[in-house]
Every structure is written in structure tokens, then in C-alpha cells.
């Protein structure tokens, strides 16, 4: 199984100190990161508070240093549209975005109660 990471999921995991890469592997996932999401993270660094910027910088280091994370390209559509399209085709999407979550059957989210990741299947 493969899971594709969304920007907000990555930032939230880093801020909550969740080892999302390790947990996703424990769940049996191969982790994919779209180049467009990496670009979003890089662009966000300049428009956020210091706390967010620190989390983004750490996220970029984690993603860059981990050789088991496969980088991929989504295409010419907007990131959210591409993630929804891939999710409808059966890919797992790790996101906190309400619109994306409602549009796809397989998702990975953060459980507030456990401060951990949670795999959901419709």
C-alpha cells in the first residue's frame, strides 16, 4: 500500500511530534511525497509565524534526509485536485483537509484523542 502526504498533515505531525514516517511504515505503507507538496512547504516558510516556520523547516529536513520516501510528481492540476483524483483511484491520502477527506474513501488522519495517526477506510 502507498500513502501520499499532504502539506497540512506533515506540518501538523511535526508540530505534535508524531513520528509520521515511522508510524506509516508500521501500518504497512510506502510513503510518497509529491514534489508539489515540497514546493508548497518551501513557499509557506515565508508567510507564516516563527513556530510554523520552524515546523516547516524541520519537516523539510525529515523529508530530505529520509531515503525511503519516494518523491513523485502530481501533474498540472492543483495539488488538492490531484490528491482527490488519486484518492478516488484507491490511493491513501494523508491529509487534514476537510474537502479532500470527504472526497476520498481511503485516508490517513491525525487522531486528536491519541495524538497519533489513524487509518480510515470507507
Question: What is the span of the domain harbouring residue 89?
Answer: 2-121
Please give the tally of structural domains in the chain. Answer: 1
- Predicted TM-score of the model (pTM): 0.93
User: Given pLDDT bands bounded at 50, 70 and 90, which one contains residue 104?
Assistant: very high
The answer to whether the CB of 103 falls within 8 A of the CB of 87 is: yes
- List, for residues 58-75, the tens digit of each pLDDT value: 999 999 999 889 999 998
- List, for residues 16-66, the tens digit of each pLDDT value: 999 999 999 999 999 999 999 999 999 999 889 998 999 999 999 999 999
Region 74-82: what's the mean pLDDT? 91
Mean pLDDT of the chain: 94
The answer to whether the CB of 70 falls within 8 A of the CB of 32 is: yes
Query: With 90 as the cut, is the pLDDT of residue 76 above it?
Result: no
CATH value at residue 89: 3.40.50.1010
Q: How far apart are CA 77 and CA 95, in angstroms?
A: 18
pLDDT at residue number 112: 86
pLDDT at residue number 63: 94
Query: With 90 as the cut, is the pLDDT of residue 106 above it?
Result: yes
Amino acid at each position: 500500500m502507498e500513502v501520499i502526504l499532504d502539506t497540512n498533515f506533515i506540518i501538523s505531525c511535526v508540530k505534535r511530534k508524531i513520528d509520521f514516517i515511522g508510524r506509516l511504515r508500521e501500518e504497512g505503507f510506502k510513503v510518497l511525497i509529491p514534489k508539489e507538496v515540497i514546493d508548497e512547504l518551501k513557499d509557506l516558510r515565508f508567510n507564516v509565524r516563527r513556530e510554523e516556520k520552524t515546523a516547516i523547516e524541520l519537516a523539510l529536513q525529515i523529508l530530505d534526509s529520509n531515503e525511503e520516501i519516494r518523491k513523485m510528481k502530481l501533474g498540472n492540476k492543483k495539488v488538492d485536485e490531484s490528491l482527490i483524483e488519486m484518492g478516488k483511484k484507491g490511493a491513501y491520502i494523508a491529509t487534514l483537509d476537510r474537502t479532500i477527506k470527504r472526497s476520498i474513501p481511503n485516508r490517513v488522519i491525525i487522531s486528536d484523542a491519541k495524538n497519533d495517526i489513524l487509518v480510515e477506510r470507507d
